[in-house]
Structure formats: C-alpha cells, structure tokens
Amino acid sequence: MTLSYYGKTIHFYMWFGKFLNKVKYILILLLIISGALVIYVPQFSLHKEDFKFSSYIPLAITQALVGIIFLVSLVGSVIFFASLILFTLHEFFIELLLRKKVYKLIKERQRMSLDELVKATGVLEDELSLLLKSWIIKPGEDTGKIYKAIGTIKSCHLQFDLNTKELSWLE
C-alpha cells in the first residue's frame, strides 16, 4: 500500500513524537539538575556577582561544565518548546483535515470497514485505528474497559466496533 500525504505525515509525526518525548525529558532533567546546582550550591552559583572559579582544577572544570550544561539546557529548552509549538500546529491541521475526510467518507457510505478506510485515506491501519479511538473516546475514558465491556466506542455520529473493526454513521 502506498501512503498518501496524510499517511506519510501522520506516520512521520507518530515516529518522530517518540523521539521528541525522549528529548523533552532529557532537556528537563538536565535543566532541573543543573539549575538546582546553580541555585542551591554556593560553589556553582555562577549567577552571583562575587562568584569566582575555584583554584582547585577539578572543581573549576566541574563549575564550568555545570554552567555550560545549565545554559545549553535552558536555551535548548526554549528553542525546543518554541519549535514544538509550530510542529504541533502543523500536525493539528493535518489531523483535522484527515478527520474531516474520514467523517465524510463514513457519512457517505454509512458503514465502512477499517480496511476500506485505510485504502481510501492512505494511512496505515494501526495509526488510523489509534486516531479513530482518540477522536471518538472522551478524555479520561479507559479504552481497555470499553473494549472488554461492549466492544464498541460511540461518540456523536460515529460508532467504532472494535471486534469487527467496522465504523458506522449514527443519525
């Protein structure tokens, strides 16, 4: 199966999102540790006017490293989160257009299998299934609980049967 523009974009965002999540946690951890050292440990208080690097070489190297790590993680976090906003905006609009297309297809046909929908949209089945669940399930609901209880997810006009992987339009 060849992926459509939507499929390629969604696939990229799902793959890259895993990487971004790790980078986010590393930047935050480095910022917290180095920031705590700079603020609470007098030997690393680089921001104070009377600060002097130690004459003891290993401590001076450590002071410089903590200062560099703090500045890089601070600036890196600002740049990272600012670019993440642009990244998320693009993903939001692509997902919104895909959602509109999916709803239109299901509304026209009234009943459609997930396989047919995959072929019509050009998005991978796992990713489309995940998106459908996120569009239908209300925030805070447990998908595992829904699946075990009734096997269908309903919201507004859309119903997703998890057992048969079929979507239906409800009037």
Kindly give the confidence (pLDDT) of every residue in the chain, 171 residues in length, as a single tens digit, with 9 standing for 90 and above: 678 888 888 888 888 888 888 888 999 999 999 989 888 888 888 777 877 888 889 988 998 899 899 999 999 889 988 888 888 888 899 999 998 998 898 889 888 888 888 888 888 888 888 888 787 776 666 655 555 556 777 777 777 887 788 888 877
Element (H, E) at 168: strand 166-169
Give the span between the Cα atoms of 94 and 90, in whole angstroms. 6
User: Considering its fold, how many domains does the chain have in total?
Assistant: 1
**3-class secondary-structure state, position 116:** helix
Domain span including residue 109:
5-169
Segments of the chain assigned E as strands? 111-113, 152-155, 158-161, 166-169
- State the pairing for strand pair 152-155/111-113: unpaired
